[in-house]
């Protein structure tokens, strides 16, 4: 999470995504880039802007070759400072706001509210996400996910994520991801992951390589250590993937 007065860039320069079936995202895509912009606007509060640029590779059957998907503007607030803020006990935060119209995607608004809990032990850190939303297609969507990281003192630590998601009048999704996080410096973290998912009757595969870079803007952050993890793995026809 971006500290007060700092900017945090989460960037995946070129992810690869493949989906079978007959959906809007069938075929091969580069996500170039997958982007999350975090601005520390108040103490324990940040402004979050998400967007993913999908570029089709190969035949597209008359569909647009490029699409800007997963667009949203959210506010995240930490209601209880805990292990992720250098204190003891559970960290609790809520991230909420509008899902904005996509370019060559769904041209409508939605809304979401992600409830996040995190706890840390000697063997690792666990993050829980409960994420209800009202999609751009005007359906109720329920997402439940868990991310498990290796011991925080390790410079390179393994990470795994599993989630299930049900969009009423839509698809049921099951997803699993494995990867690694490398803390190069307090302000710079690399991450890598591979994901497989079942979306209704269709299959999706994704390879991710990204980084998180924290930059002080108008005041020195008291603690610039990045609390980085692989981003949440959303189905990309709705919204998209970090704590």
Q: Please report whether residue 227 resides in a domain.
A: no
Identify the DSSP state of 155.
S
Whole-angstrom Cα distance, residue 11 to residue 217?
18
For residue 5, give both structure tokens: 């007065």
Can you give the pLDDT at residue 5?
86
Q: Please report whether residue 243 resides in a domain.
A: no
By C-alpha distance, which of 193, 161, 191, 156 is closest to 16? Answer: 193
Q: Please report whether residue 153 resides in a domain.
A: yes
Number of structural domains (the chain) is 1
Query: The CATH number of the domain where 13 resides is what?
Result: 2.40.160.40
pLDDT at 44 over 80: yes
pLDDT at 28 over 80: yes
Q: pLDDT band at residue 25, thresholds of 50, 70 and 90?
A: confident
Q: Please report whether residue 242 resides in a domain.
A: no
Q: Please report whether residue 231 resides in a domain.
A: no
Kindly state the average pLDDT of the residues 101-119: 97
Q: Please report whether residue 65 resides in a domain.
A: yes
Q: What is the tens place of the pLDDT at every residue in 126-151?
A: 999 999 999 999 999 999 999 999 99
> Percent of the chain having pLDDT more than 90?
78
Q: What is the tens place of the pLDDT at every residue in 200-240?
A: 999 999 999 999 999 988 764 444 444 444 444 443 333 33
Whole-angstrom Cα distance, residue 114 to residue 96?
6
SS3 assignment, position 227: coil
Q: Please report whether residue 84 resides in a domain.
A: yes
Can you give the pLDDT at residue 91?
96
Residues in CB range of 154: below 8 A, 6 or more apart:
none
Domain containing 138 equals 6-216
Q: What is the tens place of the pLDDT at every residue in 148-165?
A: 999 999 999 999 999 999
Q: Please report whether residue 57 resides in a domain.
A: yes
pLDDT at 241 over 50: no
């Amino acid at each position: 999470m971006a500290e007060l007065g700092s900017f945090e860039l989460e960037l995946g320069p070129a992810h690869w995504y493949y989906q079978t079936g007959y959906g809007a995202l069938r075929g091969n895509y580069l996500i170039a880039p997958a982007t999350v912009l975090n601005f520390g606007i108040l103490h324990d509060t940040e402004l979050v802007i998400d967007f993913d640029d999908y570029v089709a590779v190969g035949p597209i059957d008359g569909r647009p070759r490029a699409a800007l998907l997963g667009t949203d503007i959210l506010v995240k607030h930490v209601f209880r400072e805990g292990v992720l803020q250098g204190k003891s006990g559970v960290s609790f935060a809520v991230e909420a706001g509008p899902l904005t119209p996509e370019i060559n995607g769904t041209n409508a608004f939605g809304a979401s509210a992600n409830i996040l809990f995190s706890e840390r032990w000697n063997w690792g850190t666990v993050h829980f996400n409960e994420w209800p939303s009202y999609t751009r297609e005007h359906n109720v969507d329920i997402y439940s996910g868990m991310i498990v990281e290796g011991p925080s003192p390790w410079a390179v630590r393994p990470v795994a994520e599993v989630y299930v998601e049900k969009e009423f009048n839509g698809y049921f999704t099951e997803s699993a991801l494995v990867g690694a996080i490398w803390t190069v410096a307090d302000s710079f973290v690399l991450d890598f992951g591979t994901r497989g998912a079942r979306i209704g009757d269709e299959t999706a595969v994704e390879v991710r390589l990204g980084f998180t870079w924290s930059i002080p803007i108008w005041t020195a952050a008291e603690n610039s250590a990045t609390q980085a993890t692989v981003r949440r793995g959303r189905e990309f026809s709705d919204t998209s993937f970090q704590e």
